[in-house]
Amino acid sequence: MTPQDTAPAEPARFDAVELIRRKRDGGELEPAAVDWLLQAYTDGEVAEEQMAALAMAVFFRGLSRTELARWTAAMIASGERLDFSGLSRPTVDKHSTGGVGDKITLPLAPLVAACGVAVPQLSGRGLGHTGGTLDKLEAIPGWRAALSNADMLAQLKDVGAVICAAGSGLAPADKKLYALRDVTGTVESIPLIASSIMSKKIAEGTSALVLDVKVGSGAFMKTAEQARELAVTMVGLGQDAGVTTVALLTRMSSPLGLTAGNALEVAESVDVLAGGGPADVVELTLALAREMLGAAGRSDVDPAEALADGRAMDVWRRMVTAQGGDPDAPLPRARETEVVRAGADGVLTSVDAMAVGLAAWRLGAGRARREDSVQAGAGVQLHAQAGDRVRAGDPLFTLHTDTPERFDRARAALDGGWSVGEAAVDLEPLVLDRIG
């Protein structure tokens, strides 16, 4: 037998234009074609305009269950996979689809770690009206998001929790495709959203995952039907990959808690860890903690006890310190504030999450482009939530920014975003459904 006879076969090659036509016309891509497409795009062999056309075809035609599973696997295979099997405790992660005032990761990760489960939380930065977890934590003086894989593993062994940026080696195909979707109008595709989220989470190496899929005006998914479809799709991808996966559908028609903005949300999270904080933030933190502990096989542990006795706060302080932050340092404060007041007596019947999120963004708490900077102290502080009774002249919102010329546009974002009336408010439950 000659050496040529034993050489590995060349991987199959395909014509990108033919694959675009096939998907455009409603056809299905075979597994080898999906593998080739994602790797060739990552390597620069498939041009940006070709992948943009194919993403638009997927936007309109979708992906079958088989295609989607292979698409996700191909994005994982484009980079490295982390391995936490050497840890002495089980691992579980949480992913939120994003909302206004969604600071839940900050108290949740140390709380679950305080209950004996390791939490490797790879997070991102905000874009638009939804704040990013890393932006919030970077308001803490000295805190750093970038960790090597070795540092991440060491911190999990020592502290039990880490919140950091995903390394460049994790699902690079997704990173490239995500940036393309952002500028080609193909973000709102459930198969592409699901594969983007789950490729990173599966590659991360956690053995269990809890998804917080937001529903409402301040969320990516505006209706329960859309959110349920996304949740079912992601849970299926996780389970197919051997990751214990469940999802909660949670309300995002109004902001979570009483703050939207980076340092403001850190302060509120610390209040929760200290035994206080808004009731809705505490409720959702505990609901997700119970799901995470159950998925990791520790449903016998009550996270409410770890929150009440200070163990979660201890882990928070160690986690922040391990990443160079000073948990005792004063948080940044905006140089300028302006108050929006109630014009009449009555019940605050609604506070629209999108309106508050846009106001916080316009004040400097968010970014329009990935390269934009954010103001750590900017944002919106709420003095009442839907259902609360207010009097004329009471403060409803305090706007925070370093650049007062932003106030006019922030106030404009809030116009029509809240209402005062006499009728009692019948609020939806915070947790709307559970999948998986």
Active site residue 181: yes
Active site residue 64: no
- Reduce the DSSP state of residue 231 to 3 states and report it: helix
Where does 342-417 show beta strands of DSSP type E?
Answer: 346-351, 379-382, 389-390, 395-401
- The Cα 75–Cα 329 span in angstroms is 40
CB 131 within 8 A of CB 365: yes
Q: Rg of the chain's alpha carbons, rounded to an integer?
A: 23
Q: What secondary structure letter does DSSP report for 404?
A: G
Of 69, 89, 174, 70, give the one whose Cα is nearest residue 124. 174
Q: Which of 35, 93, 174, 352 is catalytic?
A: 174
Instruction: Give the helix ranges, DSSP H, for 241-364.
Output: 262-273, 279-295, 303-308, 311-322, 353-360
CB 378 within 8 A of CB 327: no
Of 261, 254, 241, 285, give the one whose Cα is nearest residue 350. 254
- The Cα 183–Cα 203 span in angstroms is 25
**Helix and strand counts by DSSP (H, E) for the chain:** 17, 13
Q: Which of 94, 125, 200, 406 is catalytic?
A: 200
What are the backbone angles phi and psi of residue 214, rounded to the nearest 5°?
Answer: -80, 145
Active site residue 195: no
β-sheet bridge partners, residue 212? 96, 248
- Reduce the DSSP state of residue 221 to 3 states and report it: strand
CB 338 within 8 A of CB 407: yes
Q: What secondary structure letter does DSSP report for 363?
A: I
Q: Which of 96, 123, 196, 207 is catalytic?
A: 196
Q: Which of 22, 95, 136, 298 is catalytic?
A: 95
Q: Which of 103, 176, 181, 367 is catalytic?
A: 181
What are the backbone angles phi and psi of residue 341, rounded to the nearest 5°?
Answer: -115, 155
Q: Residue 305 to residues 103, 216, 291, 345, 411: CA-CA distances in angstroms? A: 21, 31, 16, 40, 41
- The Cα 7–Cα 205 span in angstroms is 32
Which run of H or E residues covers position 77? helix 65-77
- The Cα 334–Cα 211 span in angstroms is 33
Active site residue 95: yes
- The Cα 93–Cα 113 span in angstroms is 11
Instruction: List the catalytic residues.
Output: 95, 174, 181, 196, 200
